[in-house]
Structures are given as C-alpha cells and as structure tokens.
Amino acid sequence: MKNTLLFGIGLLVLSIVVLIYPPAESKAADDFSGQSITIAGTGDCQSLLRVLAKAFNKSFEDARIRIPDSIGSSGGIKALIDGKVDLARVARPLKPHEQKKGLSYHLFAKNPVVFVVHPDVKSLDNLDVGQIIDIYAGKTNRWEQLGGSQGKIYALTREPGDSSLSIINGQVPGFKDIAKSAAKVYFSTPETVEALVRHKNTIGFIPLTEVKGTGLRVIKVNAVSPSVENVTMGKYKLTTSFAIVSKGKLSGFAKTFVNYLYSAPGRVIITEFGAIPSN
C-alpha cells in the first residue's frame, strides 16, 4: 500500500514537472511558430535552396524558410547588413570589407561550374580550353567545326564580378584575356539558364546545381567531367562554394535550418543536385 502511494505521488510530481518544463524539442517547435526566415542573394544555389527549404518546411506547420529571386551574392550581403533580410546566400567567400562587418560564413557545399549546351547541339560532349577560347572570341562560330551538329554557335556569358565568371577567368587560361567577346552578357544565373533552355545552338556556363531538370547538356572540359570524384580529387578545377551568411552567431530557427543543410537528408538533396556537401 505504501509503495503504491509513493508511486502515485511520483507520477503526480512527474506530471507537474512536464507541464512546467515541456520537452526541449516540443518547446523549440513552439518557439518557431509563426516565424519566417528570408535568405536572399545569389542565383547560383537558388534552385537547390528552394528544394532544401521545401523539404525542411514540411517539419514545421507554421514556420517558413523563404528563398526569393536572385539579387546576387553582394546584393544578399548588403541586404543582410542593412537588416532587410535574415540571412544571405553566397557563391563566393566573404570579401575583406565584408569580413569587418561581423558576419559569419557557413559553407555548406562545393559546386562545379560547368559549360552547358542546348540539347539541340548533338554529337558533342567535350571541348578543350582552346576550343572554348575560340568560341568566346568568335573565331569558331559553327558547331560542325567542332564535330557537332550543324548550326551557328550562340555563346552566353556573365557580367564582370559574377561568381561563375570569376572561376572561369581564374581557371581557364586565356579566357579573361579575350579582347572582344562574341558572347551575349546575362546578369543572373536564372536568366542565363532560361536563355540557354529557350534558344537553340547556345552555349554558356552555370553552376551544376542549376542544370537539374533543364535538359541542358553538360560538356566535359579537356575530357574531364564534373563528377564528385573528379572535383574531390582536384581533377576538375572549375568549382565554387555555396554558403549561408549570418550576422554574428546563428540562433533559433535560422540555426535549425543551417543545421539541416549538414544533416543526412540535407546532404542527400545537395548530392542529388551535383554538389559536394561540406562537413
């Protein structure tokens, strides 16, 4: 009888404790109710982060991660510093003057920058550096000159300062020295992808993560494909970095989302898009 009474009192005390101090997981979920985090910046990982955010949002009934259209890495950082957004997304390291603003850099993936062609360009899966230079310099202007299907070549490039262009300039010898480019300039990754998909006989360079679902054909460079193995071993050198930038240390809902990028489910999605997750 005494033991039964003590057991009953113990249950009552435990119930009171649980009511006063709910489990941490439940409390965290309640704390996120109604919260919305906006992550602005580069278009290079826009599609990838939208898929990651959609998967993450399924775990929260009344809290959302929002990935608006591209305003560029620098635009995202400026919006973060000005307090207009909660986090920034970038496809490059922080610049020295940005590092002085008390920002924290959270690298979550390494991603290949790839040359792609419209699916209408047949019988061509590799270009060497010299051929790429000649295309962008206007010296080679027909696909059949390179062993491809017949058609005029329409090259697309990016504006100075773009993350992908910076990688191309640094890793493709002679690319930045082209006196007069024959390529049309586009000012965002989504805009570039749309033009490549819409116009036949085009060639351009974009992050591999933005190829998924477009039908665009990835071209090897010097017979090296942008595979995970080649990127990891350093054989494919056209790579950029994807990161989330915060003001100071992460906390709350923002920290929970960034942690998700490093989780097993998050890493699976990143890998499916062709990027290499960071540890």
219-272 tens-digit pLDDT: 999 999 999 999 999 999 999 999 999 999 999 999 999 999 999 999 999 999
Structure tokens at 108: 């979550």
Q: Among candidates 41, 262, 217, which has minimal Cα distance to 115?
A: 217
What is the model's pTM? 0.84
Residue burial 209-238, b: 16+ Cβ < 10 Å; e: rest: bbbeebebbbbbbeeebbeeebbeeeebbb
- Residue 184's pLDDT band, with cuts at 50, 70 and 90, is very high
- Relative orientation angle of helices 264-272 and 46-57, to the nearest 10 degrees: 150
Phi-psi region of 95 (alpha: psi -120 to 50; beta: other; left: phi over 0): beta
Residue ranges of domains in the chain, CATH in brackets: 23-111+241-277 (3.40.190.10), 112-239 (3.40.190.10)
Contact, 270 vs 261, CB < 8 A? yes
Q: Max Cα separation, the chain? A: 97
Please give the torsion angle defined by the CA atoms of residues 171, 172, 173 and 175, in that order, rounded to the nearest 10 degrees.
-120
